[in-house]
A and B are shown apart, each in its own frame.
Chain A
């Protein structure tokens, strides 16, 4: 039995955040290097790690996000190895090198505590379903892990003159310097209930990247369970 399972043992730690397979994130924790992670994303840990849901610092930064139930982020501190996952979504590890990235709230998995971050509501567009489209803007130098349902794709926005339009349900992350606006493709035909099915898009213009997942499943599974 061990023979078959042996292939899934953890690999040696080489970096703060690493993928274990496609869908699991391994974080090497140490004292003084706190981590913010989605509440409920922890699947396993080794060592002495403490979790503080909805810590004061988060409450301050994410005050907008809080709708009475608290921001879905917990502070993890301690020493050891922490394994995070989000219901089998692909995990992408990014080492920010003085970059910034705006990530859809449901697609944030974890990020270093020392990074500068803030929560903002996407301007010009209120998603009809759920709690609206919140995004977490993270900048600085450090590690960030985001999730995507299926292998994501990264598109350079400033390549052509045309704007890039994204289905809000499939949007994962984008460069904060892009200009964002909501677009409704209303037509006469859609008014009589025969739309193309793609009624709202987000338009991005400028120089930067957009990360999109191959699925329009934007359910926040971690929150649904809470």
Chain B
């Protein structure tokens, strides 16, 4: 590949890493060092900020809350999206194209539009301030996205596979659970990554649908900024911790990642 391309890539990676470096550098500095004299490298590295987070229940419970709703959301999304994606990829049926388009429109709906009705809906059925409410609300964009990605992957699996299983006398259930899903492990991994990605990073709905009990980590962080003012070190440490789950997930799906980013449509 061309030389200039390499340079652009390198320059971009530096641009990408610098803010992350700064976040990390602040996370291991004391607040006095941060607001004191400017240092490009941490003057006296310390883990005190992380200790503060792990000893304060507000912080680690918020972490738990976030992981809970992301987990529930991913489960629901996969459970409903897998059969639907299979149906879309294998059959034509009344209104299939329209339905698929309509599903996509939900991915395009700005969360801010749904703010008010969600608030009232979940209050009315008593789910307000539970992780389940946030998980269901996030289904608004994770379910259409999951169907979309999975359909792309499933369409790439030859239908001969389905026919072979039938000829071998396997029931549909056996074929689907023991043959089809294992083959599509990668696709499911990528979908999981996307559900995680969009549910973990969202703030607006998560903030609106949670009160004191189910406060997610992203909300605790914004409140720390406005309330206690400026404990930059703890804020940065919390930021570093919210990056970690993403790194773990991306590590697990690294092989299928690129294919997934093309939403399964590049083969």
Chains A and B are bound partners: no
Chain B interface residues (CB < 8 Å from chain A): none
